[in-house]
Copies of this chain bind each other. A is one copy, B any other.
Amino acid sequence: MPTYAEMGPGELAALKKELERAYEEIKARGLALNMARGKPAQAQLDLSMPLLKAVTSAEDCTSADGTDCRNYGVGFGLPEAKKLMAAMLDDEPDNVIVMGNSSLNAMHDALMRCWTFGTLGSMPWGKLDAVKWICPSPGYDRHFAMTEELGIEMIPVPMTDEGPDMDEVERIAASDASVKGIWCVPKYSNPDGVTYSDEVVRRLAAMECAAEDFRIFWDNAYCAHHLFDDEAEQDRLLDIASACREAGTEDRPFKFASTSKVTFPGAGISALAASPANVAEAKRRMAVQTVGHDKLNQLRHVRFLRDAEGLAAHMRKHAAILRPKFDLVSRKLEEGLSDVGGCLWSKPRGGYFVSFFAPQGCARRIVELAKEAGVEMTGAGATYPYGKDPRDANIRIAPTLPPLEELDEALDVFVTCVKLAYAEKLLG
């Protein structure tokens, strides 16, 4: 069968007519389906219910060192919570600060500290005429929103299948002292599902930066979020902190993680890991900002997840729920679009997304068509700085929330929308 691009205009016009009919039929069904945000499904939430019973008596509220966690004190994390989050962050408990329910908030605060006060003696970024930021793209819209709000000029850098294009990253970081940082989702990246290769991590650690206070915001949101149980099928990420220590740039990375997609989104715990100097500075600032974070919730998490092994076992239960959904996406896209041509999509081994690349100039139209037919997708362009996908091609598919049957139906709609948009495009 010819791909759409290979078809003659007559053949394609006939096909388009057929697709329009199919699309109208779908619309008539009045669907309300959602593949927009990376939210866990209800079955995943159910996995963590014992956590809510883990701290109910006064004895339960006492931490290993005897602290009554119902009262003020211990602003930077209980020792046992630091240990748990250190396991997630692949670091030492001493380098960890346990934070509140939102790692995004932890990143925001870290950015605002640099913005307002500078870091380790540097000029506050907010006092500079220009601040620029490297944004591997496609990437996470909430990262981009944060730098955009501060008026930071975002410089997109293409993603490859082993992380950001490091030639570009190195060139930009070395050439301009107003380039102060980079957003990274280094494992099972949002949305591409790419895990940075060892070489990429080492180059990020070792690269020359014109700004002495250049910072890598290392959002390891999916550090434990494998889709497969067999370690051979799991991605492995080199620790940026170790790489930076080796390269003599230990103050460069801020590492973040949370239990949002481990236990309960919005009711989890988050953490920052960084060099001793960075941690000391963050603690000094945080002591002015807050009385500390919720220690009872830290205890709940420690009692429920226990340690690295407990965490891994728990994540295998998540994977068992998610794997069929990602399989379904692969199968439906393969069946529906492999003959169409012009489309590409990721087959991640973890994380929360499938990254779909439509034929150039079609993404907005596809998302629009899907929306009209009752299927909510992440906005086209959302995966690029300023919402501007230069090729208008990338769409983030979030398959985790809907039950399998709904996902199946939503993917049928999506495939039809892709085909129709592509046919429209080719026919001009």
Contacts and interface: CB of A to CB of B under 8 A. Distances in A.
Number of copies: 2
Interface string A129-156: 0000000000000100110011000000
Contacts of A39: 71-72
A100 B100 CA distance: 8
Interface in A137-181: 142, 145-146, 149-150
A289 B104 contact: yes
A126 B112 CA distance: 12
A311 to B, nearest CB: 18
Interface stretch (A16-24, A52-60, A197-205, A342-350): A52-60
A58 B68 contact: no
A324 interface: no
Contact of A291 (B46, B102, B126): B102
A155 B266 CA distance: 39
Nearest to A72: B265
A72 B37 contact: yes
Contacts of A46: 58
A376 interface: no
A61 to B, nearest CB: 8
A158 to B, nearest CB: 25
Contact of A288 (B57, B72, B108, B293): B108
Interface residues of A, number: 54
A296 interface: yes
A150 B264 contact: no
Nearest to A145: B288
Interface in A72-104: 72-73, 100-102, 104
A49 interface: yes
Q: Chain B CB within 10 Å — which of A45, A60, A73, A264 has the most?
A: A264
Given A49-B57, A52-B56, A126-B126, A290 B72 contact: no
Contact of A105 (B70, B260, B290): B290
A266 B295 contact: yes
A33 interface: no
A292 B72 contact: no
A265 B102 contact: no
Interface in A276-295: 285, 288-295
A273 interface: no
Contact of A56 (B53, B126, B292, B293): B53
Contact of A112 (B53, B112, B146, B267): B112
B265 A71 contact: yes
B72 A45 contact: no
A355 interface: no
A69 interface: yes
A297 interface: yes
A157 B197 CA distance: 59
A102 B72 CA distance: 11
A228 interface: no
Nearest to A150: B116
A52 B112 CA distance: 34
14 contacts: A40-B71, A52-B61, A52-B296, A69-B267, A73-B266, A104-B290, A108-B289, A126-B126, A149-B285, A149-B288, A264-B296, A266-B296, A267-B296, A267-B297
**Closest 9 interchain pairs by CB?**
A105-B290, A267-B296, A45-B70, A72-B265, A70-B264, A102-B290, A108-B289, A101-B294, A52-B56
Interface of A: 37, 39-40, 42, 45-46, 48-49, 52-53, 55-58, 60-61, 68-73, 100-102, 104-105, 108, 112, 115-117, 126, 142, 145-146, 149-150, 260, 264-267, 285, 288-297
Given A102-B290, A108-B288, 10 more contacts: A48-B70, A52-B56, A56-B56, A70-B265, A71-B266, A149-B285, A266-B292, A266-B296, A267-B296, A267-B297
